[in-house]
Amino acid sequence: MFSALARPAGAALRRSFSTSAQKNAKVAVLGASGGIGQPLALLLKNSPLVSRLTLYDIAHTPGVAADLSHIETRATLPDCLKGCDVVVIPAGVPRKPGMTRDDLFNTNASIVATLTAACAQHCPEAMICIISNPVNSTIPIATEVFKKHGAYNPNKIFGVTTLDIVRANTFIAELKGLDPARVNVPVIGGHAGKTIIPLISQCTPKVDLPQDQLTAVTGRIQEAGTEVVKAKAGAGSATLSMAYAGARFVFSLVDAMNGKEGVVECSFVKSQEADCGYFSTPLLLGKKGIEKNLGIGKISPFEEKMIAEAIPELKASIKKGEEFVKNMK
Residue 210 lies in a domain: yes
Q: What is the pLDDT of residue 72?
A: 65
Residue 16 lies in a domain: no
* Distance in angstroms (rounded) separating the CA atoms of residues 291 and 186: 18
Residue 4 lies in a domain: no
Do 314 and 172 fall within a single domain? yes
Tally of CA atoms within 13 A in the half-sphere of 310 that contains its CB: 27
* Distance in angstroms (rounded) separating the CA atoms of residues 26 and 100: 34
CATH number of the domain residue 80 falls in? 3.40.50.720
Do 186 and 209 fall within a single domain? yes
**Helix H or strand E encompassing 169:** helix 162-176
Domain that holds residue 132: 25-160
Residues annotated within the binding site are 31-37, 57, 95, 101, 108, 131-133, 167, 242
Contact at 8 Å (CB) between 198 and 185? yes
Residue 328 lies in a domain: no
* Distance in angstroms (rounded) separating the CA atoms of residues 168 and 221: 6
The pTM (predicted TM-score) of the whole model is 0.91
Residue 327 lies in a domain: no
Do 309 and 184 fall within a single domain? yes
CATH number of the domain residue 251 falls in? 3.90.110.10
Do 234 and 299 fall within a single domain? yes
Do 74 and 88 fall within a single domain? yes
Written as tens digits, the pLDDT of the chain (329 aa) is: 444 443 333 333 333 344 444 468 999 999 999 999 999 999 999 999 999 999 998 877 778 888 887 876 655 444 689 899 999 999 988 777 777 777 889 889 999 999 999 999 999 999 999 999 999 999 999 999 999 999 999 999 999 999 999 999 999 999 999 999 999 999 999 999 999 999 999 999 999 999 999 999 999 999 998 899 899 988 888 999 999 999 999 999 999 999 999 999 999 999 999 999 999 999 999 999 999 999 999 999 999 999 999 999 999 999 999 999 999 87
Do 136 and 166 fall within a single domain? no
Residues annotated within the binding site for NAD(+) are 31-37, 57, 108, 131-133, 242
* Domain total in the chain: 2
Domain boundary among 131, 160, 189: 160
Do 142 and 225 fall within a single domain? no
**Helix H or strand E encompassing 318:** helix 301-326
Q: What is the pLDDT of residue 5?
A: 46
Output the DSSP codes for 250-311: HHHHHHHHTT-SS-EEEEEEE-SSSSSSEEEEEEEEETTEEEEE----S--HHHHHHHHHHH
Backbone angles phi, psi at 325, to 5 degrees: -70, -40
Tell me the catalytic residues.
191
206: left (phi over 0), alpha (psi -120 to 50) or beta: beta
* Distance in angstroms (rounded) separating the CA atoms of residues 195 and 5: 37
* Distance in angstroms (rounded) separating the CA atoms of residues 77 and 95: 30
Q: Count each helix (H run) and each strand (E run) in the chain, helices first.
A: 9, 12
Do 144 and 259 fall within a single domain? no
Residue 233 lies in a domain: yes
3-state secondary structure of 117: helix
